[in-house]
Amino acid sequence: MRVLVTGGAGFIGSAFVRLMLGEDRATRLVNLDKLTYAGNLENLTPVEADPRYRFVQGDICDTQLVLELLREEKPDAVVHFAAESHVDRSILGPGAFVETNVKGTFSLLEAARAVALPRFLHVSTDEVYGSIEEPHDADENYPLRASSPYSASKAASDLLALSYWTTFKLPVMVTRASNNYGPYQFPEKLIPLMISNALEGKPLPIYGDGMQVRDWLYVDDHCRAILAVLERGTPGEIYNVGGSRALPNREVVEKILDAVGQPHSLMTTVADRPGHDRRYAITTEKLERTTGWQARMPFEEGLAQTIAWYRSNPEWVARVRSGEYQSYYASNYGKRA
């Protein structure tokens, strides 16, 4: 398969690139990435010399560039990861989220339509369903009730992508995954932020009462689900991807502190996130039934491997946490204490 990946220098995109090339699932893999603060070519060191691999620095909003790449590379599929991906940043500044997530997806869809691309997989999130009351779990027909500018921009791009199937018969598929964790995740999201703060003995900021629930999915399980949908999914369909491991944030953070050998007293309650979704919960039955996919990684094992990775990659963490990260941290956490 010849694949064009967008956002392949980010956390999940780079795991997907390493998986596709590491397991010989792609004969050609082109990675289009703008290299924002979240894009990091160090995540791709294992594949950079691979003759099947090509990196192109560019913006998905640049339809002309995308069109030229599609004409030149003639991929069988586009797998679209590129996005602004962090809820707190969408609260500090929603504009970039509308630009990349909505307009960027539109630009890609237009280019894909122009070349009659055989497959377009849009990588989305369970956050488009908004907060879900117990005891319900969202299936793919659950109403969209996005709460943050991030999730609203993803919901908008999901609907736009699906409309290209309904209207133009561009073979679009959408995956909606729950919270990912694993190596190479930028330490703005809960798990890598708490691991890196715990390893340095710094306070661990818990938003509100810390009883918000997230369903944790190991990043490689997510990438295998995307591959399964790419190979066996049906155009026009949506597939939830969950880890089937729902936990309150406080419990996740306590597990991290225990594993790192730091006291629970490092947890510090800070002001809650505005519009904070209380609970995410999805069913993954459709994906399992139609593709045979199953999550493989138990949470405790995945967490232990992730902590081990952050422990053994202090240079990666230090580089990522220098510069822009410092000003982000000050603006997001400075006023919360």
Q: Which residues contact ligand TYD by CB under 6 A? A: 87, 127, 179, 189-190, 193, 205-207, 212, 214, 249, 273
Closest CA to 176 of 190, 166, 191, 161: 161
Q: What strands, in cross-sheet order, belong to the sheet with 179-181?
A: 179-181, 213-218, 246-248
Query: Left if phi > 0, otherwise alpha if psi is -120 to 50, otherwise beta: which for 68?
Result: alpha
SS3 content of the chain, % helix, strand, coil (to 5): 45, 20, 35
> Of 59, 127, 158, 277, which one is the catalytic site residue?
127
**Is the distance from CB of 97 to CB of 150 less than 8 angstroms?**
yes
301 belongs to the catalytic site: no
- Binding of ligand NAD at residue 174 (CB under 6 A)? no
36 interface partner picked from ligand TYD, ligand NAD, none, CB below 5 to 8 A per type:
ligand NAD
Match 């190596």 to its residue by tokens: 183
Residue 186 interacts with ligand NAD (CB under 6 A): yes or no? yes
What does the CA dihedral 249, 306, 50, 100 come to, rounded to 10 degrees? 20
Residue 28's binding partner among ligand TYD, ligand NAD, none (Cβ under 5 to 8 angstroms by kind) is none
Stretch that binds ligand NAD, among 10-18, 130-138, 190-198, 303-311 (CB under 6 A): 10-18
Whichever of 162 and 262 has its CB closer to ligand NAD, that residue is 162
The residue range among 68-76, 130-138, 165-173, 177-185 that interacts with ligand NAD, by the rule CB under 6 A, is 177-185
* Residue whose structure tokens are 């995308």: 66
Considering only residues 92-131, where is the footprint of ligand NAD by CB under 6 A? Answer: 100, 104, 123, 125
- Which is closer to ligand TYD, CB of 119 or CB of 176? 176
Burial 66-101 (b: 16+ CB within 10 A, else e): bbebbeebebebbbbbbbbbbbbbbbeebebbbebb
Catalytic residue numbers read: 126-127, 150
Per CB under 6 A, residues contacting ligand NAD are 6-7, 9-13, 33-36, 38-39, 59-61, 81-83, 85, 100, 104, 123, 125, 154, 177, 179-180, 186
